[in-house]
């Protein structure tokens, strides 16, 4: 998606910039490498690694589910076979991911109905619990992260 779009907000037209996928991916890569630097500065940040791995897997499955479900307005969309070729997997593997994406969609809708999709306090709490389970004290957390473990 590229270009600029006009969006009506509060009775006014607002210019909204669209971001192409390649630009978005570049931003995500920069953020992932920045997370690596965070680990260097705060090794306890490793507790979030599995959560982030799962979030990425869930996001991809959600995208595959959506791509399978929704055709573009001009009728062009990628087939199951094409998506399988892009990922280098079987079409059966894509079908599995479509089902997993439907589950993620339901989970996200339930989370949105309850308010925020990701709550910072919950992330801090998971950090504290994971460090406690590992038997490792939080030596590098912020005051709020340390308070979550108290």
Highest mean pLDDT among 2-6, 89-93, 109-113: 89-93
- pLDDT category at 149 given cuts 50, 70, 90 is confident
- Kindly state the average pLDDT of the residues 20-26: 95
How far is residue 106 CA from its own chain's centroid? 15
Whole-angstrom distance, CA of residue 105 vs CA of residue 22: 24
How far, in Å, CA of 109 to CA of 104, rounded?
A: 9
**DSSP code for 45:** G
* Average pLDDT along the chain: 89
Report residue 100's pLDDT band, with 50, 70 and 90 as the boundaries: very high
In 3D space, the residue among 51, 67, 35 whose CA is nearest the CA of residue 126 turns out to be 51
pLDDT digits (tens, 9 = 90+) for 62-81: 999 999 987 555 667 888 99
String of b and e for 74-86 (b: at least 16 CB within 10 Å)? Answer: eeeebebeebbee
Residue 108: which residues within 8 A CB-CB, separation 6 or more?
Answer: 62, 117
| Cβ atoms < 10 Å from Cβ of 131 | 19
Q: Provide the terminal-to-terminal Cα distance of the chain, rounded to the nearest Å.
A: 46
Distance CA 128, CA 146 (A): 8
Alpha carbon of 5 to those of 17, 18, 115: distances in Å?
Answer: 6, 7, 28
Residue 102, pLDDT > 80, answer yes
pLDDT of residue 22: 96
pLDDT at position 134, please? Answer: 96
3-state secondary structure of 92: helix
- Give residue limits of the domains in the chain: 1-41, 43-148
Q: How far apart are CA 41 and CA 14, in angstroms?
A: 40
Looking at residues 26-45, what average pLDDT do you find?
97
Q: Which residue has the higher pLDDT, 71 or 100?
A: 100
Please give the residue that has the higher pLDDT: either 16 or 50: 50
């Amino acid at each position: 998606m590229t270009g600029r779009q006009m969006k009506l907000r509060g009775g006014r037209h607002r210019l909204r910039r669209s971001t192409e996928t390649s630009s978005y991916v570049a931003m995500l890569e920069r953020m992932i490498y920045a997370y690596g630097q965070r680990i260097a500065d705060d090794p306890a940040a490793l507790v979030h690694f599995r959560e982030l791995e799962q979030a990425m897997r869930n996001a991809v499955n959600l995208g595959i589910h959506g791509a399978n479900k929704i055709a573009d307005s001009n009728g062009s969309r990628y087939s199951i076979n094409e998506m399988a070729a892009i990922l280098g997997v079987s079409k059966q593997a894509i079908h599995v991911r479509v089902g997993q994406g439907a589950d993620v969609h339901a989970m996200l809708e339930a989370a949105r109905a309850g308010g925020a999709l990701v709550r910072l306090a919950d992330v801090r709490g998971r950090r504290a619990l994971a460090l406690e389970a590992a038997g490792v004290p939080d030596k590098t957390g912020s005051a709020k992260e340390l308070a979550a473990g108290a």
